[in-house]
Amino acid sequence: MIVCAVAAAPLLRADDAAWPAGASPREIGLRVAEHFVVTPHGNPGRTNPVTSIIYPETCAWYGALAFAQLTSNQDLTARLIHRFEPLFAGESRLVPRPVNVDSTVFGSVPLEIFMQTREQKYLDMGKQIADAQWETPTGTAQARLSTEVKSWVDRGLSWQSRFWIDDMFMISLVQVQAFRATGQPQYLGHAALEMTAYLDQLQQTNGLFYHAPDVPFFWGRGNGWVAAGMSELLRSLPENHPQHARILAGYKKMMASLLPFQGQDGLWRQLIDHPESFAETSGSGMFTFAMITGVKNGWLDEPAYGAAARRGWLALVQKINDQSDITDVCEGTNKRNDLDYYLTRHRITGDLHGQAPLLWCASAWLRPSTPAAAPAPAIR
C-alpha cells in the first residue's frame, strides 16, 4: 500500500522526490504504459471478437506515446510504434472506418507517431481520417443524414455531430492532432467551432454538462471527456483565435463547479452531484488531467486547483492494483433518461477508459509549465 502522506511539496513538481514512494507520475506512467503495450487489441473484459480498434484503446495509445516521448524512453516508443505496424498490412482490417466520432478519433494515434518519427505514411493515414470528419457524405449516404444533422452541417459543423458530451473529446483530439502535425489552421477551426456549439447546447448554469440535451444527468466520465477535450484544445488554441475566450470561459466555469464535488477521498462520483453514487476513476482521472493542464498553462490558480489535482492523482494511485490495472471504472455507458441506469452501472477493473487518463495525467505532470499564450498561427 502506498502511503499518501508526504511533506509539503510544490504542487506541480513531477520529480520522484515530490511524491510518496511508488506514486510519482514517472513511475505510475511507466507501469501503465508497459502494461498497455503488451495488452492485446480491444478493451479488457470485452467478450466479442475484436473487429477494429475501439476508442478506449486509441486514447490509451495516444497517452502512452506522449508519456514515452516526455520521458525520452526510446525503447517504449519503439514498441508502441511496432504495435501499429501490422495495421498497414496483415491487420489493416482493424483500422476503424471514420464513420462516427468514436472511430475517427483513431486518427490521433498515427498523427502522434508522425510527429515523433516524421514518417509520411503516418501523416497520410491520420490526415485522411481527420479530413473525413468534415467531408460530408455524398449520394445515398448523404440522403440518410437527418434533417437535424444537415442543419448542423450548414452551420459548418461536422456531419458526425450528435451532441453527446463524449464528442467534445473525440472530435477535439483528432482535429487538434491534425493541426499539431500539419500547422494548418483549419483543423483548429473545426475543433473550436464544434466546441463552442457543444458548450452552447450542453453546459448548464452550474458549469457541468448533461450527457445529451434529452438526458439531464451529470455523468462523471461524460463530463470527464468534456474537461479533457477542452484541455487538449486550449493547449493548442492561441489567445487571438475567435473562439478562444468562449472556450476558456466554459472551461473555467466547469473547473470551478467541479472543485466542491471532489470527495474527501480525492475522487469524483459516477454521477457528479449524487454523493450516494460510487467514486469513479475514469472521470476522476480526466478531471485531474484537466486541472493539472490548467494550472501548468496558467488558466487556473495553483493553490486551489493544484491541490485538487494532487489529491486526485494520489487517490487514483491508490486504486491501481498489483497488475497495474485501475479499479472502479464505470462500464461502457450509452445515454438514457433514467437515473437508476446511471446509479447501477457496473464497476470494471483494467478497462482502458480508466487506464488512458492515468497516462494523460502522468504526461501532464511531466510537461513544463507554459503560462504564456500558445504561438498564433494565421487565422483564416
Q: Which domains does the chain possess?
A: 16-137+150-366 (1.50.10.10)
Q: How many CB atoms within 10 Å of residue 46?
A: 13
For residues 141-165, give the mean pLDDT: 93
- Assign residue 272 a region (left: φ > 0; alpha: ψ between -120 and 50; beta: otherwise): alpha
pLDDT in tens, 329-349: 999 999 999 999 999 999 999
Give the Cα-Cα-Cα angle 252, 173, 83 (nearest 5 degrees): 140
Q: Which helix (H) or strand (E) holds 347?
A: strand 347-348
Here the cell at position 184 is 494548418
Return the HEC string of 73-94. CHHHHHHHHHHHHHHHCCCHHH
pLDDT of residue 258: 98
Q: Is the dihedral of CA 11, 17, 23, 28 positive or negative?
A: positive
pLDDT of residue 371: 55
Query: pLDDT: is 377 or 351 the higher one?
Result: 351
Q: How many helices (H) and strands (E) does the chain have?
A: 16, 4
Q: Which amino acid is at 21?
A: A
Q: Which pTM was predicted?
A: 0.94
Please tell me the distance from the alpha carbon of residue 183 to that of residue 204, in angstroms, as a whole number.
33
- Residue 149 phi/psi, 5-degree rounding, is -65, -40
pLDDT in tens, 191-242: 999 999 999 999 999 999 999 999 999 999 999 999 999 999 999 999 999 9
Q: How far from chain centre, in Å, is Cα 221?
A: 10
Here the cell at position 48 is 466479442
Neighbouring residues of 75: CB distance < 8 A, sequence distance ≥ 6: none
pLDDT > 50? residue 18: yes
